[in-house]
C-alpha cells in the first residue's frame, strides 16, 4: 500500500525549565496545532456542505484538499509548511490509518445480520458486478485512447488503461457508509445492498491494484496471487474462527447490561490487529476493519453500545485527519490545457456512466422500482477518498503521471458532490422515509 513512512527526525531546540531538551515535547507542540487547524477547517467546511445540501463528509473531504498544496499551500506556502512540517506528517498518517480502520469497523459492526434475508448476498454480488464491469470496461477504453497523451513513457498501454479502469470502478465505501449513517439508511434494503456491493467493488479494485503493482514493480503474478489468496483466507478465518471466539463478549454484555473495561480492550484490539494483517497482506487496513466489525457478536444491542462508545471520537477527530493527510498529497493545479480538459471530460463520462447506469439497471433487474434503482446508482457513484488512496499508490509507484492524478482527483470530487443531489432527485424525503422500513423485494422473474 503506501510506501513505508520514515520515522520523524526530531531536532530539539526548545529549552525546558531544567535547562534540558525534550524532543517528544517538541513534536507534540508541532502536532497539536496541525490537529487544531484540521478540526477547525473540517467543522467549517462540513457546515458549509450541509448548507448547500451536501453530506458533511464531502465538506470534510474538501477541507482536506484545501489544506494541501491546492489552496493553503499555494496562497500561504510558508504558513502551510509551518503548520504541517515534514516530521508531523508521519504522525498524521498513523492517526488517519487508525481512524479509517476503526470507522470501517463500526460500519461492519453496524450491519444488522438478523435482518438479512435469503438471497441478499447474491443480490449484492450482482449489484457489485454491475458496478464494476461497465465502469472498468469504459475506463479501460478511455485509458487506452489517452495512453499516448497522458501516460508515462515507461508504462504500457494495457497497464495504464487497466489502472484507469480500476480507479473508476471504485466506490467510496467509507463515504457511502457515512452518507447512509447520516440519513439513517444503513439497515434499509437500499443501504445494506449498497454497502455490501461497495465492499465487493473495492475489494476487487484492490486485488486489481495488487496485480498491477506486482507487474509494474517486477515481482510477478505470483505475488499478486499471494495477495488475493491471503485476503480470502483472512476473511474466511475472521468470519468463522474469530466470530466464534468473540461470542463470549455478547454473553458478557447481556449479563452486565453494558460493555466492561476488559471487553472494550478486545473490541478495540480486534480491528487494529485485523487492519495490520490486511495492510501486511496488501489490501489496505480498511477491509480488515470492516471484516472485524462483521465478526463481532450479532447481538444488535451490543453493537449499538460499541457504536455509541466509539463513533464520536472516530468521526470527529480521526476521520478529519485522514481527509487532511490525503489532501496534503493532492494538487489540483495540474490541469492547464484544452487537451487535458477534454481528456478529463472523457474520463469523467466513463466513470459516471458506468457506475450510475450499471448499478441502476442491476437494481431494477432484482425487483426495485426505477426511483430506488437510480438512487442506488447515485450512491454507488460516490468515489471520495478511496480513489485518492488508489491513485496516490499509483503515483508513488510511477504508474501514472501528475496530470492523470489531478484528473482522477477531480473525478472523485465531482462524482461525490453529485451523489446526494442525484439521490434526492430520485428519492425525495417523503419516499426515503418509506424505504427505511420496506422489505427487500423478490427478484423479477
pLDDT band at 114 (very low <50, low <70, confident <90, very high): low
Q: How many angstroms separate the CA atoms of 292 and 301, rounded?
A: 17
Report the alpha-carbon distance of residue 180 to residue 427 in Å, rounded.
Answer: 13
Burial 369-394 (b: 16+ CB within 10 A, else e): eeebbbbbbbbbbbbbbbbbbbbbbb
CA distance 34 to 89: 9
Q: How far apart are the first and last CA of the chain?
A: 43
- Residue 434 — very low, low, confident or very high, per pLDDT cuts 50/70/90? low
Share of the chain above pLDDT 70, in %: 86
Q: Please report the DSSP string for 10-68 in residue order.
A: P---PBPTTS-B-HHHHHHHHHHHHHHHHHHHHHHHHHHHHHTT--HHHHHHHHHHHHT
Confidence bin at 13 (pLDDT 50/70/90)? very low
Q: How confident is the model at residue 445 (pLDDT cuts 50, 70, 90)?
A: very low
Q: Is the pLDDT of residue 283 over 80?
A: no
Give residue 142's pLDDT: 92
Tens-digit pLDDT profile for residues 28-56: 889 999 999 999 999 999 999 888 877 78
Compute the distance between CA of residue 296 and CA of residue 242 in angstroms, rounded to an integer: 9
How many CB atoms are located within 10 Å of the residue 28 CB?
Answer: 11
Residue 1, pLDDT score: 44
Query: What global pTM score does this model have?
Result: 0.74
d(CA 96, CA 92): 6
Note the pLDDT of residue 48: 93
Above 80 in pLDDT, residue 276?
yes
Within-domain flag for 385: yes
Report pLDDT digits (tens) over 242-274.
999 999 988 888 888 888 888 899 999 999 999
The whole-number pLDDT of residue 219 equals: 58
Query: How many distinct structural domains can be found in the chain?
Result: 1
State which residues form the domain around 385: 32-83+91-435
Residue 26 lies in a domain: no
64-107 pLDDT tens trace: 889 988 889 888 989 999 999 989 989 998 898 898 889 888 87
Residue 444: is its pLDDT beyond 60? no
β-sheet bridge partners, residue 15: 21
- pLDDT bin (cut points 50, 70, 90) of residue 9 is very low
Q: In angstroms, rounded to a whole number, what is the distance separating the alpha carbons of residues 444 and 290?
A: 31
Mean pLDDT rounded to a whole number for the chain:
81
pLDDT band at 22 (very low <50, low <70, confident <90, very high): confident
DSSP class of residue 298 equals S
Give the pLDDT confidence score for residue 145 in this predicted structure: 92
At residue 331, the pLDDT reads: 74
CA 284, CA 273: separation in Å to the nearest integer? Answer: 12
Q: Flag whether 7 is in a domain.
A: no
* Residue matched to cell numbers 481527509: 323
- Does the pLDDT of residue 438 top 90, yes or no? no
CATH code for position 68 = 1.20.1530.20
Residue 442 domain-assigned (yes or no): no
In this predicted model, which residue has the larger pLDDT, 415 or 110? 415
Phi/psi at 21 (5° precision): -125, 155
pLDDT score recorded for residue 174: 67
In the chain, what's the furthest Cα-to-Cα distance? 81
Which range, of 75-79, 135-139, 352-356, 382-386, averages the lowest pLDDT? 382-386
pLDDT tens string 374-397: 988 888 888 876 787 788 778 877
In this structure, what DSSP letter does residue 155 have?
S
User: What is the rounded average pLDDT of the residues 210-215?
Assistant: 72
Q: What is the pLDDT of residue 279?
A: 82
Q: And the C-alpha cell for 355?
A: 457506475
**Cα distance between residue 93 and residue 83, in whole Å:** 15
Q: Does 8 fall in a domain?
A: no
Bigger pLDDT: 419 vs 110 = 419
Amino acid at each position: 500500500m503506501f510506501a513505508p513512512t520514515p520515522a520523524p527526525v526530531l531536532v530539539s531546540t526548545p529549552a525546558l525549565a531544567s535547562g534540558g531538551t525534550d524532543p517528544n515535547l517538541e513534536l507534540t507542540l508541532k502536532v497539536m496545532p496541525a490537529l487544531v487547524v484540521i478540526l477547525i477547517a473540517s467543522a467549517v467546511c462540513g457546515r458549509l456542505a450541509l448548507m448547500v445540501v451536501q453530506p458533511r463528509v464531502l465538506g470534510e473531504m474538501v477541507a482536506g484538499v484545501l489544506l494541501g498544496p491546492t489552496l493553503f499551500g499555494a496562497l500561504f506556502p510558508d504558513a502551510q509548511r509551518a503548520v504541517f512540517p515534514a516530521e508531523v506528517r508521519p504522525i498524521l498518517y498513523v492517526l488517519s490509518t487508525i481512524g479509517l480502520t476503526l470507522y470501517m469497523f463500526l460500519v461492519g459492526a453496524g450491519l444488522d445480520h438478523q435482518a438479512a434475508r435469503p438471497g441478499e448476498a447474491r443480490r449484492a454480488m450482482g449489484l457489485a458486478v454491475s458496478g464494476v464491469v461497465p465502469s472498468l470496461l469504459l475506463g479501460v477504453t478511455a485509458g487506452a485512447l489517452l495512453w499516448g497523451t497522458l501516460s508515462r513513457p515507461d508504462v504500457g498501454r494495457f497497464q495504464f488503461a487497466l489502472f484507469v479502469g480500476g480507479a473508476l470502478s471504485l466506490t467510496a465505501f467509507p463515504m457511502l457508509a457515512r452518507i447512509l449513517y447520516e440519513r439513517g439508511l444503513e439497515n434499509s434494503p437500499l443501504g445494506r445492498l449498497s454497502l455490501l456491493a461497495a465492499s465487493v467493488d473495492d475489494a476487487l479494485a484492490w486485488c486489481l491494484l495488487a496485480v498491477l503493482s506486482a507487474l509494474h514493480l517486477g515481482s510477478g503474478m505470483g505475488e499478486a496471487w499471494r495477495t488475493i489468496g491471503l485476503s480470502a483466507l483472512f476473511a474466511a478465518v475472521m468470519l468463522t474462527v474469530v466470530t466464534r471466539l468473540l461470542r463470549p463478549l455478547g454473553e458478557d454484555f447481556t449479563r452486565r447490561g453494558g460493555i466492561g473495561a476488559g471487553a472494550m480492550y478486545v473490541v478495540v484490539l480486534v480491528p487494529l490487529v485485523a487492519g495490520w494483517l490486511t495492510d501486511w497482506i496488501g489490501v489496505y487496513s480498511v477491509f480488515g476493519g470492516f471484516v472485524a466489525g462483521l465478526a463481532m457478536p450479532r447481538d444488535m444491542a451490543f453493537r449499538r453500545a460499541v457504536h455509541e462508545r466509539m463513533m464520536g471520537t472516530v468521526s470527529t477527530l480521526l476521520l478529519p485527519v485522514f481527509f487532511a493527510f490525503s489532501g496534503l498529497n493532492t494538487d489540483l493545479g495540474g490541469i492547464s490545457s484544452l487537451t487535458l480538459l477534454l481528456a478529463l471530460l472523457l474520463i469523467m463520462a466513463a466513470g459516471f456512466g458506468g457506475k450510475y447506469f450499471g448499478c441502476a439497471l442491476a437494481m431494477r433487474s432484482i425487483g426495485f422500482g426505477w426511483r430506488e434503482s437510480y438512487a442506488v446508482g447515485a450512491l454507488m457513484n460516490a468515489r471520495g477518498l478511496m480513489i485518492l488512496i488508489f491513485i496516490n499508490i499509483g503515483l508513488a509507484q510511477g504508474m501514472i503521471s501528475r496530470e492523470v492524478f489531478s484528473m482522477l482527483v477531480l473525478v472523485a470530487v465531482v462524482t461525490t458532490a453529485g451523489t446526494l443531489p442525484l439521490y434526492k432527485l430520485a428519492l425525495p424525503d417523503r419516499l426515503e422515509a418509506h424505504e427505511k422500513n420496506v422489505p427487500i423485494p423478490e427478484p423479477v422473474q
